[in-house]
Amino acid sequence: MNSLYQKSHTINSLKSYFSPYFIGMTRPTEQKVFLLFLAILSMQGIQSIRFLYHWFLQKVSSTKLNAYYYLLSYGEISLDALCRTTIQIALSCVPAELTGYPYFLLIDDTLQPKFGTHFEEYQVMFDHAAHNGNNYLKGHCFVGLVLCVPVLNEGELTYLSVPIRYRLRSKKENKLDIAAEMIVQSLPSFPSEKQVILLCDSWYPKGAVRKAVSAHSQLELIANVRVDTSLYDLPPEPTGKRGRPPKKGQPLAIQEDFQLIRQLGDYYIGMRKVMTNLFPDPVYAMVSAGNTDNPSTYRLFISTLMPEDIFSNAALEESWEEEIIEKADVDQALLPFTLYGFRWQIETIFYEQKTFWSFGEYRIRSKVGIERYINFMAIVYSCMQLLPYQQDQYVHLKQKSTQVKKQLLGSAIQEEVFFYTFVSSLESKINSWAILRAFDQWCNKKRYLQ
């Protein structure tokens, strides 16, 4: 296997990229994990671990199939350590001139239907989107955490989104507790003075997630919240009279106390500083409505950061704050509302991994094994995003989609593996049958991929 690393340019470069993930692993574990990474990357459609073994793993290693199942379910692999490594690699891609810009954490959950009751944590769940025409879905629920970091792409600033952690929710676990735990565990990987903004939908800004935001000064929140969230005016000025002054002002109604006069596209927008029961300090509230006469079109957003404080630590000759405002045709007051749009990146990642990366095609019964396999897939997905910013030979792939990069690198890996197995069969003895079998395998593989 060492000769494969030495003689294969693409595989050797990937070995260099993935090497930080192997710190603390034994040599056999490291080899099997790396081969799984290569197998996931080289296969365009994955049906199971057995499928990966049949088409890739057995060609480059003598390790048996059961060893990979054992690795996923019982191997000594820390998913928290793998998450920290992905964060460190992502942060290393941020150029020095962009270190003042905030990082974004995106949290959300996704449902994965499974057909079979032998999977651990298989359960019937409410599906608000009714993907299968039914309000209930049988399968698994994954809570995902995505990191967005600023990078330069042909001189222009953009944010790169990479999945850093997945957790499979059990029947007894609460999604808010899982989300808060993942968020808190990721924070030590960021510089202590770094501003990290959490973006989430209306399910998450409560319970354990709200407590996590309140308990960590570097963590801020921009979120969609329920329209019936209690809002209050700012506390009145002290009157000088005896007694404790009120902590909140008069209750506010989003349809009456917000002036929806600013139009953003097809929406009317209104904003003001308010008090809530969620946080002790004032927050910035934004109300949008597609039709001011229809209460069902109203949406409410809050930000623990005021618009003027979001880019207070960033300084460039041409401020990106001004650039994003100009592109969105909005003023600074709408900046939190505009930044909330980054949250859609986690939906895009869910879609791509389910459509192009065979996210739900696992045949592993244990919860631990399922979580590890899904996180391995997330690491390979992150590699496709970060590799062009890590190694110069792939810089031309920066603007390519994740799927295109996967296809190109996967094809390169398959070619190098073919020549490795081809040459290995010739090194022992000149055996025409070995040559024919290797060539036949390659032709069958090409036909399968087509």
Phi-psi region of 358 (alpha: psi -120 to 50; beta: other; left: phi over 0): left
pLDDT tens-digit profile, the chain (450 residues): 555 555 568 899 999 999 999 999 999 999 999 999 999 999 888 989 999 999 999 988 899 999 999 999 999 999 999 999 999 999 999 998 888 888 999 999 999 988 888 899 988 888 877 666 777 888 999 999 999 999 988 888 899 999 999 999 998 999 999 999 999 999 999 998 888 999 999 999 999 999 999 999 999 999 999 999 999 999 988 777 787 888 899 999 998 888 887 667 778 888 899 999 999 999 999 999 988 888 889 999 999 999 888 876 554 434 555 555 554 445 678 888 889 989 999 999 999 999 999 998 888 999 999 999 999 999 999 999 999 999 999 999 998 999 999 999 999 898 888 776 665 555 555 455 565 566 566 556 544 444
Rg, the chain, Cα only: 25
The pLDDT assigned to 442 comes to: 57
Residue keyed to tokens 């941020």? 94
List 112's β-bridge partners, or say none: 140
Residue 155, SS3 per DSSP: coil
According to the model, what pLDDT value does residue 329 have? Answer: 45
* Separation of alpha carbons 249 and 203, rounded Å: 26
Q: N- to C-terminal Cα distance for the chain? A: 28
pLDDT of residue 92: 95
Q: Which pLDDT score, from 0 to 100, does residue 315 have?
A: 46
Whether residue 295 contacts residue 254, with contact meaning beta carbons closer than 8 Å, is answered with no
Positive or negative, the CA dihedral 261, 262, 265, 267 is negative
DSSP structure class, residue 12: H
Among 199, 152, 184, smallest CA distance to 388 is for 152
Give me the pLDDT at residue 437, please.
Answer: 63
* Residue 238: CB atoms within 10 Å: 8
What's the pLDDT at 321? 52
Tokens 């944590």: give the residue: 121
Token code pair at residue 372? 């590890």
DSSP string covering 179-205: HHHHHHHHGGGS-TT--EEEEE-TTSS
Q: Is the Cβ–Cβ distance between 149 and 94 less than 8 Å?
A: yes
The reported pLDDT for the residue numbered 419 is 74
DSSP count for the chain of H helices, then E strands: 15, 12
d(CA 143, CA 168): 6
- Reading the block at residue 310, the tokens are 């979001």
Q: How many CA atoms lie within 13 Å of 85's alpha carbon, on the beta-carbon side?
A: 21
The pTM of this model reads: 0.87
Question: Domains of the chain: which residue ranges?
Answer: 2-77+400-449, 79-228+304-356
The answer to whether 383 and 14 are in contact (CB under 8 A) is yes
Query: Cα–Cα distance between 152 and 437 in angstroms, integer?
Result: 47
pLDDT at 164: 97
C-alpha to C-alpha distance for 245 and 444, rounded to whole angstroms: 79
DSSP one-letter code for 137: E
Backbone φ and ψ for 357, nearest 5 degrees, come out as -115, 10
Query: What local confidence, expressed as pLDDT, does residue 162 receive?
Result: 97
What residues contact residue 77 under an 8 Å CB cut-off, 6+ apart? 25, 29, 33, 71, 372
Integer Cα distance of 134 and 328 in angstroms:
38
Q: Identity (one letter) of the amino acid at 348?
A: T
Amino acid at 134: N
Q: Which pLDDT score, from 0 to 100, does residue 68 have?
A: 96
Return d(Cα 446, Cα 233) in angstroms, integer.
66
Whole-number Å distance between alpha carbons of 321 and 375: 34
- CA dist., res. 413 & res. 430, Å (int): 25
